[in-house]
Amino acid sequence: MARWTRWTPALIVALTAGHAAADDIPTPSLDWAIFQILPSPGLTVATAGGDVAYTMRWQLTPILYSFGVRSEVTPWRALVAEPLVRYGGSLELFVDGEYTGRGEFADRWGLRSGARVYLPLVQHGENAALSFGASYLRAAGANGMGLELGGYVLYGVLGLQITYSPPLPVGESVTLNFVVRYF
Amino acid sequence: MRAVALALALGATGCLFTIVTRSVAQLGEPTRRIPNRIAQPVVDDARLAVLWVGHATVLVQMDDKIILTDPVFTSAVGQISPRLVEPGIDPANLPPRLDAVLVSHMHFDHLSVGSLALLAPRIARLFVPAGGLVYVPPDGYPAQELRWWETWHDAEGLAITAVPVRHVGGRYGIDRSWQTAAFTGYVIQYHGLTVYFGGDTAYDRERFAAARERFPAIDLALLPIAPIEPRDFMSRTHMDPAEALRALDDLGARWMVPIHFDTFINSYDHVGDAPRKLREAMAARGIGDDRVVLLGQGEQRIFIARGGSAHPIR
């Protein structure tokens, strides 16, 4: 196991001390990492003036707590979360790298962090799930926030997220992201 | 070496693409109906009876105990692979108590989350292989993992042992890399009867022989005979009919019921390929249909009746 993957089980073991964990804790692997490189494409529309720009997001889950798993199973995940664990019902702290295709190149990159709740809709979220959350965005030297709603199908591999960013302090916008995610 | 790995990866990708394409093309096609499905599957005068529901779903009656294997009653698995034929029994007609539900591994055609939710009030206890519990939703029934050679038994003498087979774990693909032992067969023992459930397995003489060594008097083996093609790709994780007959000999079982065919599209096989090749292999080995009992979906056989009759009847 590569050194950079070792801290995740250590963290989960620390979080779940005294918990009867029946599962093998998933840890980042090379194939997992390759799939995380795939961005989720989208469009950002500035509500004033209708300026449209394409976006890309790379999603990372530092910590996830699942309330959709059996009591025998560790509810905590770091980085890697199985679809049933995430979409079966969970609270996720997330960090997204974000690219918006407008402005100077250096200003196109941002970092979004926040919290998101997933709720299962059909077959414990494997067939359909939704999410809502809030995030803080740091991009182009400015701060922003977002309120989001998402829907997911096909074990969460495909989804749609709508993020509304109120005019605080930068311009109001709506971002529509097609989620492409595998673990 | 890299070229071989690349060729294997591309080959696997091509196989999967073809299989997925075939499955998707089947979506929307009518599911074959089974006329006169059995409404009362518990047979009073049976000691050992089997009803093949379809694929790896089998209802096994051992005296007063009812065991259900790999329950899948949904209209599709993995959302994109539709049923070719309806389940061999209406789930509403299943016995009110399923003493043990056995899940061999976590692939979509063996662990059906929707089916477990449907059956939840009837499930007395559910068993999964090591590492599999993470994919069993909290639907209110007790569930536990069994590691290979681990045995659970109840106060009335029902014993269930997980036995090693050769397959692959995980549910979504890359999780196989940490679910390294999340696949199993089971041996069910009750009142002197022994049933082997192979789940989904490649041919592995050593593992079958080890099961025989521990369980030398297997009455009935439920063995997968498909998917068959493409063989180079499938042989690592699936037996074909000829290999299933070798497994039957390795296990030393008295009877075999073939499973895991003609229910979903999971290979290049067409409906009818697996039973045809099974009959050819049986003829080549001189094995009769008194030993290998080929059931249709929804068909039930009594292998041992109360009072001593020990032939496949009904």
Q: What is the pLDDT along chain A (183 residues), one digit of tens a residue?
A: 444 455 565 666 666 554 444 456 788 888 889 999 999 999 988 877 778 899 999 999 999 999 999 999 999 999 999 999 999 999 999 999 999 888 889 889 999 999 999 999 999 999 999 999 999 998 888 888 999 999 999 999 999 999 998 886 667 889 899 999 999
The minimal CB distance from B178 to the residues A27, A124, A155 is found for A27
Higher pLDDT, B4 or A169: A169
DSSP symbol at A153: E
Alpha carbon distance B113, B101 (integer Å): 13
Give the global pTM.
0.90
**Residues of chain B numbered 164-223 and touching chain A (CB < 8 Å):** 171-175, 177-180
Cβ distance A70 to B136 less than 8 Å, yes or no, reads yes
**pLDDT at res. B312:** 56
Alpha carbon distance B233, B235 (integer Å): 6
Cβ distance A23 to B171 less than 8 Å, yes or no, reads no
The minimal CB distance from A23 to the residues B134, B137, B143 is found for B134
**pLDDT at res. A139:** 85
Domain spans of chain A?
39-180
What value does the mean pLDDT take over residues B52-81? Answer: 95
> What tokens appear for B303 in the block?
């292998």
Segment among B9-13, B185-189, B256-260 with least mean pLDDT: B9-13
Tally of CB atoms within 10 A around B37: 18
A158 touches chain B (CB under 8 A): no
Please provide residue B299's backbone torsions phi and psi, each rounded to the nearest 5 degrees. -90, 140
Cβ distance A182 to B136 less than 8 Å, yes or no, reads no
**Fold that domain A39-180 belongs to in CATH:** Porin (2.40.160)
Please provide residue A117's backbone torsions phi and psi, each rounded to the nearest 5 degrees. -110, 130
**pLDDT at res. B1:** 43
DSSP string, A22-69: -SPPP---HHHHHHHHSPEEEEEEETTT--EEEEEEEEEEEEEEESSS
Best mutation target, A82, A86, A90, to test chain B (most B CBs within 10 A): A82
**pLDDT at res. A29:** 87
Tally of CB atoms within 10 A around B293: 17
Strands B193-197 and B220-224, bridge-based pairing: parallel
